[in-house]
Amino acid sequence: MTRKHIVVIGGTAAGPKAASRAKRLDPEAEVTLLQKAPELSMASCGYPYFVAGSVADRSALLATPAGVVRDPAFFAGAKGIAALVGTEATAIDRQAKTVSWQRPATGETGHLPYDKLILATGSVPKVPPIPGRELAGVATLSSLADADGLRALAGTHKGGKAVIVGGGLIGMETCEALVAAGLDVTVVEALPGILMGFLDPELALLVENHAKSKGAAILTGVGIAAILGTDGKVTGVRLADGRELPCSLVVLSIGVAPNVALAKAAGLELGPTGAVATDAHMRTSDPDIYAVGDCVEVKNRLTGRPMLAPFGDLANLEGRVAGENAVLGDTATFPGSIGSGICKVFDFAAAATGLSERRAREAGFDVVTAVNAGPDRPGFMGAKPLVSKLIAEATTGRILGFACVGPGNVNRQAAEMAMAILGDLTIDDVATADLPYAPPYSLAVDHAIATAHVLQNKLRGLMRGASSLAVKERLDAGETPFLLDVRGPKEFEEMRLGLGETLIPLGQLRKRLGDLPADKSAPIVAYCKVSMRGYEAQRVLEAHGYDNVTVLEGGLAAWPFGLEK
C-alpha cells in the first residue's frame, strides 16, 4: 500500500491539530508540518498574559498540559510527525502537487510532494497606513515574537505612557497587560465604543467603566491621524481631531486579516470576506487542498452567511476535521460558527455568543431583547454580579444571541446559552432548563434561566421593559418620565441616579399611590438595584390602573451612565 504524503503549512493551532489527527488516524501516512516561526503550537491567546508577567515562563505557552514543550523532537517522538521550524512555504504547484520551501536563516530551499495539502497560514495584524508606524516603540501582538518584543518594551517603558490603537478583544486584553506591567495606558477606539464588534453598547459601556476604574483611559469615537516621533522613536500620537497624546509606546491592535497570500498565488478561491473559501469538509476549490484556522471563512450557523471567526478553539476543531478528511476521505464536517467568545478585562469577564442585537437586525431578524442583572450565586456563598442581554426572534422565541459581563461566573452563562443557540432552543425551552444547582455554583434559578424569564415575561406582555440606553435616550430627548425608585432608604442613600427620582419602597407602594402622577397614563419608569422589585412595582401599579409603566431593565446595576453616589 502506497503511503500517503500529507503536508501541513502552518504550526500554531490548526496546523498541528490537523497533522496530529491525520497521523493518528493513518499511522502509515507521512505527515510533514512546515512552520515559518521557530516555535510550534503557540498558545497565542496567552500572549497578553505573558506581556503582563502573569505567565512568567515563556515555555508554558508552548507546552502540553503535562509541561512538555511541543518542539520538533516532541512531534517526531510523540506524534511521528516531521515538524520543520524556521521553514517557510513559498509556493504551491497544484499541477505537480508540490510545495516549495526555504529556510531564510540558511538559504536552503527544497520541494515537498503531497497527496493532500492542508493550509493553516493564520492571520496577519492589520497595520493601517498611519504616518510614523515604522518608528521604534510601535508594536503589534499577533505572534510570539511580538509578545517577546512587547514584554521587553513594557519593561523598559515601565512608568511611562502607552497608547493602544483599537478597543477590541485583543486591545482590551493588552490594555490590562500594560497596566499590570506598570504603564499609564490610553486606549483609542475610532468606533463609538470599545468591544463594538462583540457587545451591544449597553454592556460594552459597563466594561469601559470598569476599565477606567482600574486606571485605563479610554477615548472612543476618534481615530489616530499620525504617530509622532523624534530620532526614530515614538514620542506621541496625534488624534484625528487634532489632539496630541504624549507616549513612548504604541500598540496597533485594530484586528487581523486572513493570511491568504500563498493560497491566492496558488489560484485557490477566496470568499466574499477575503479569506479562503472552504466547504463543510474544510476543502478548498482544489479537492486535494484543505484550509483551516484564521485564513478561512466559515458559515455563520444563524445567518447562513460567510464569516471570519479567528478563534483558537475553532482553529483546533477545523484542523481536526481537515486532518481526518485528508487521510480517510471527506467523512468529517465542520458546520460553522455562532461566534462565541470571551475575554478578561481586569476583574470583569465579557462574553458573547450568537448575534448581537445590531447584527441580528442587520441580518433581517425581527428581534426582542431583555437585559437582566443579578448575582451568579447566593450572597452567602460570595456572590458576584452579572449583567446579561438576551436576543431572541420575536415570532418564534428562538434564541439568537446572548452576552454577559461582570466579575461573576460569566463563562458558565455564555456556555449555557451557546448550547441553547446550537440546539435551536426557544426562550420557553431555556426558561425550564434542568441545570446542575448547588449554592457554591449558582442560584436555584440560574442567572441565564432568570434572564430567559425576563424575556418570556416581555413576550407574554407581562412586563414592559426598556434598556438603560432607551431610558437615557428618552431623558436626553427632554422627556420627563416619573422615575420611581422602589428600593429601601438605606440603599437610596448609598447609591442613586440623581435625576429627580422619587423613592417609594416597594413595601409602601400600595399605600402611597397618591405620591404618583394623578394621570394614570403618565409615563413611569420603575427600578431597583437589579429591577426585580421594579418589575413587582410595575405589576402592582398596573393592577391599580396605571397603563404606562416601564421597568428599567437590569436596574442600577446595568446603568452605565454614572450615579450620584
Q: Which residue(s) pair with 110 in the sheet?
A: 101
CB 465 within 8 A of CB 370: yes
Cell of 160: 511611562
Q: Could you confirm whether 343 is annotated as catalytic?
A: no
Euclidean distance between CA atoms 431 and 449, whole angstroms: 5
Could you tell me the sign of the dihedral formed by the alpha carbons of 275, 279, 282, 285, in that order? negative
Q: Which helix (H) or strand (E) holds 186?
A: strand 184-189
CB 142 within 8 A of CB 124: yes
What does the radius of gyration of the chain's CA atoms come to, in whole angstroms? 27
CB 526 within 8 A of CB 503: no
Could you tell me the sign of the dihedral formed by the alpha carbons of 17, 21, 24, 26, in that order? negative
Biggest alpha carbon–alpha carbon distance for the chain: 91
Q: Which of 308, 316, 194, 190 is nearest to 257 (CA)?
A: 308
Residue of 45, 295, 343, 404 with catalytic role? 45
- In Å, how far from its chain's centre is CA 455? 24
Residue with cell 496630541: 244
CB 126 within 8 A of CB 142: no
Cell of 358: 445590531
Question: How many residues does the structure list for the chain?
Answer: 565
Euclidean distance between CA atoms 100 and 93, whole angstroms: 8
| CA contacts within 13 A on the Cβ side of 2 | 5
Euclidean distance between CA atoms 302 and 421, whole angstroms: 9
- 139 — alpha (psi -120 to 50), left (phi > 0) or beta? beta
Could you tell me the sign of the dihedral formed by the alpha carbons of 487, 492, 495, 498, in that order? positive
Euclidean distance between CA atoms 226 and 131, whole angstroms: 5
Q: Where are the beta strands (DSSP E) in 223-359?
A: 224-230, 233-239, 244-246, 249-252, 256-258, 289-291, 297-299, 306-308, 341-345, 348-354
What is the SS3 assignment for 382?
Answer: coil
What is the SS3 assignment for 334?
Answer: coil
Q: Please report how the helices 447-459 and 410-422 are oriented relative to each other, as an axis angle in degrees rounded to 10.
A: 50
Active site residues: 45
